Structure 1
């Protein structure tokens, strides 16, 4: 993966930062809504603008609030993003003009070392002319007129960004050839289960906003990271509640974003709250992950404050095996986002699970096992007519998918399919990853 210069989009709430971010990355990655304050954490993506490639960061709206409040913690994330960036793209609303909060942001940016590009958004037509003239008092020269929604002004933005890209020195880039690519690891769970705290512990920095309020994370945030030299792409997601309780449009968008994160992931960590145990919603989320064919690990967070820990662990283990019988024996790991307990064990299990999820068994080995399985437990003969199972082959990996050929396979009971799937998982090294078994009967030449 090439190293690219980073540009952070900053501005007060609702000036169109996420709309511009989505246009530059070429897809709707960031949630967009008419209300201010939708974006809370930093979201990163690879942008292309008229042939220029760079990394773009969408940040939370800059607000003048106490650092201990949620808006204050969001502001700290924005400040960190600018500090890490090669340039800041300072966006204001050209139709509204320069506000006192814009002026405060300007003073803060002028006191820093990060180069600043000033742009007035929503400048389509003549509505933004006075606002663009007013922007000279911010001290960054002439503002670029933009319309992120309609794609206007991108040539001028290209001219402003090009020197940043041309002057960028990537330094030494390690050769990643021969690796299997980064482990795509999504952290999911109910609101306030400790997902962002765990991600911050993994990264060793306060990368995600955390706090006692439930539902702080709204977007699915992907972060590149390394664990003992192995690349990992961490995805922190919004908390998932029961659909019946989700009435707000923004929460529905967040839930859909989490679903896309599950689709994108290779391994999904379902994070439970040790203070609440395993709830029905946790099992629903787990079933959703398994149905999508993703490899699943269950982690119990806040283990440093768990009461009656041995009994709690055994209770969760039993409930998982009963509620998710199709993948009995899921890895169950206890972690603490505060102390770091269990983090290395969790990542180690994630790499091992991805390996099983990506494994392929040779046809010879597979059918030798298949013959032993048929001999130990022959298929039934419904109505006195024997079901003839001929051979088994692995059609694909990620998730492991097998095709069983035979006659009258449509009569094969579900219990016998489960017998075969459990045997494949247990005896051929697939562990607790989801395994799919499709049935195929040879076409009857005399049919019809």
Structure 2
């Protein structure tokens, strides 16, 4: 969090438990340095094979394999532990090509007692050179760390230049500026939500095509909301895998309670929300969506987000064709029933474990996002309005609402304003008709659309002549309009 300057990772004092279980990624800012930083889940060299700790250690090893530098954090208040020595040996054996810097964290209180020098001498035994004393919580030692990293980064970039290699700009600022005029080309924020153990993390790994998130049969395995960046069809996508919080009781303590808050916050940052359902459970139950799933789907629509429903684990129904067809037929119908305000919400059936359906999911995400960013010109909308108003059945032409003009005021989601003249306003039925016609005629179904109306104020009809004298103006004000207009002038 100190590097990326925001509260992104879960932080909780649980000595007997590993709070971080997945790989977190962000753009670090240290002075004038900008670099991509990955927070690993920790290394447990003596973990039992197949356990959660062993799986997180494997993921950390994969992260190190594609890194150029590593900051080896130790808790200076506890002193050098046997596990620290084992991790040091592991790094020398498996990551010898990585420049490792030892950072003594939680050093804010040791210097006062004169213990810091002794602690640095002990940390020197790890064999990675002189350690740097820091405090991730208070910011102590960040200047010293900058002085160590800057020459290393400069040398690394010099080598890349000599080798003719280029690295992507981690901030994506160039891409944002290039697509500034076209909102649909800006980086896309996609959030994956769903009940625990429906396969959200497996789906994220499938979309990224790498083992970024820890997966397994244990429910509630994901604690952090994992944010990852990848490219699809020359488009930058930021993917957030939220912890499965929809069926939790609200009485959680510790890391579980923090993950609930974090998941809700990340959900509201998203542009497109992918709600993941369990196809196997749908086949065994009477309804496609539970109450928490309906709530989150409606919340996404009310917040103006694009919604995509993904039915996962369809590979488990492949042997039972009637159940397979039942799920494919029932889910879209039920979604339309429980969320009637938006028609045509896209549904994709897939198997994240087998990797089937990845392309279909991403194409549907891109299609929904482009509709969500759509902008229509006022002239085009008013030509459409004349046609659509003529085909609407009005009860009484005399009381028909008069729409002066129709325009789009914003995108993300598309929001339109009907400017009304006269006293008659559009009814709820009329607004629903206009919304439905917009979706059908411009092919923007499946996303929330907002139509509001505003009245055009009447203009004052009283005319005045600035060249008239004061008494002349007073005389006209005492007469009615017709008499004032017809009054002859004398010279």
Fold shared by both chains (TM-score > 0.5): yes
Assess, with a 3 A threshold, how the Cα gap between structure 1 residues 37 and 154 changes in structure 2: closer, same or farther. Answer: same
The SS at the match of 1:328 is coil
The answer to whether the 8 A contact 1:320-1:328 is kept is: no
The SS at the match of 2:2 is helix
Cα deviation, residue 51, structure 1: 1.2
The answer to whether the 8 A contact 2:23-2:40 is kept is: yes
Assess, with a 3 A threshold, how the Cα gap between structure 1 residues 397 and 345 changes in structure 2: closer, same or farther. Answer: same
The SS at the match of 1:276 is helix
The counterpart of 2:141, out of the listed 153, 158, 169, is 153
Taking the aligned partners of 2:215 and 2:263, their CA distance within structure 1 comes to 18
Assess, with a 3 A threshold, how the Cα gap between structure 1 residues 438 and 222 changes in structure 2: closer, same or farther. Answer: same
Q: Does 1:48 align with 2:5?
A: no
After TM superposition, list the pairs within 5 Å mapping 1:48-447 onto structure 2.
Answer: 48-63=29-44, 64-111=46-93, 112-113=95-96, 114-126=98-110, 129=116, 130-169=118-157, 171-172=165-166, 180-242=185-247, 244-245=249-250, 247-277=252-282, 278-306=289-317, 307=320, 308-377=323-392, 387-406=401-420, 412-443=426-457
Equivalent residue, structure 2, for 1:8: none
| Residues 312-350 of structure 1 deviation map (CA, whole Å, 9 limit, x = unaligned) | 121111110001111121111111112221111111111
Give the paired residue count. 423
Q: Does 1:39 align with 2:53?
A: no
Assess, with a 3 A threshold, how the Cα gap between structure 1 residues 445 and 249 changes in structure 2: closer, same or farther. Answer: farther
Cα deviation, residue 244, structure 1: 4.1
Q: Which moved more, 1:112-121 or 1:369-378?
A: 369-378
**In angstroms, what is the RMSD of aligned CA positions?**
2.5
Taking the aligned partners of 1:246 and 1:380, their CA distance within structure 2 comes to 55
TM-score where L is the length of structure 2: 0.80
Equivalent residue, structure 1, for 2:477: none
Cα deviation, residue 371, structure 1: 2.7
Taking the aligned partners of 1:415 and 1:31, their CA distance within structure 2 comes to 47
The SS at the match of 1:240 is coil
Cα deviation, residue 230, structure 1: 4.0
Gaps spanning 5+ residues in structure 2: where? 169-173, 180-184, 283-288, 461-491
Assess, with a 3 A threshold, how the Cα gap between structure 1 residues 76 and 186 changes in structure 2: closer, same or farther. Answer: same
The answer to whether the 8 A contact 1:67-1:76 is kept is: no
Equivalent residue, structure 2, for 1:27: 6
| Residues 184-240 of structure 1 deviation map (CA, whole Å, 9 limit, x = unaligned) | 322221111111112222233222110001122222222222335443332222113
The SS at the match of 1:23 is coil
The answer to whether the 8 A contact 2:419-2:454 is kept is: yes
Taking the aligned partners of 1:43 and 1:27, their CA distance within structure 2 comes to 13
| Residues 62-81 of structure 1 deviation map (CA, whole Å, 9 limit, x = unaligned) | 33311311121111111211
Assess, with a 3 A threshold, how the Cα gap between structure 1 residues 355 and 253 changes in structure 2: closer, same or farther. Answer: same
Cα deviation, residue 354, structure 1: 1.3
Taking the aligned partners of 1:284 and 1:399, their CA distance within structure 2 comes to 20
Taking the aligned partners of 2:392 and 2:66, their CA distance within structure 1 comes to 62
Gaps spanning 5+ residues in structure 1: where? 1-21
Cα deviation, residue 378, structure 1: 5.5
Cα deviation, residue 243, structure 1: 6.0
The answer to whether the 8 A contact 2:426-2:453 is kept is: no
Taking the aligned partners of 1:61 and 1:173, their CA distance within structure 2 comes to 27
Higher Cα radius of gyration:
2
Equivalent residue, structure 1, for 2:485: none
Taking the aligned partners of 1:144 and 1:313, their CA distance within structure 2 comes to 58
Q: Which moved more, 1:224-233 or 1:78-87?
A: 224-233
| Residues 116-146 of structure 1 deviation map (CA, whole Å, 9 limit, x = unaligned) | 1001111113265243332122222322111
The SS at the match of 1:102 is helix
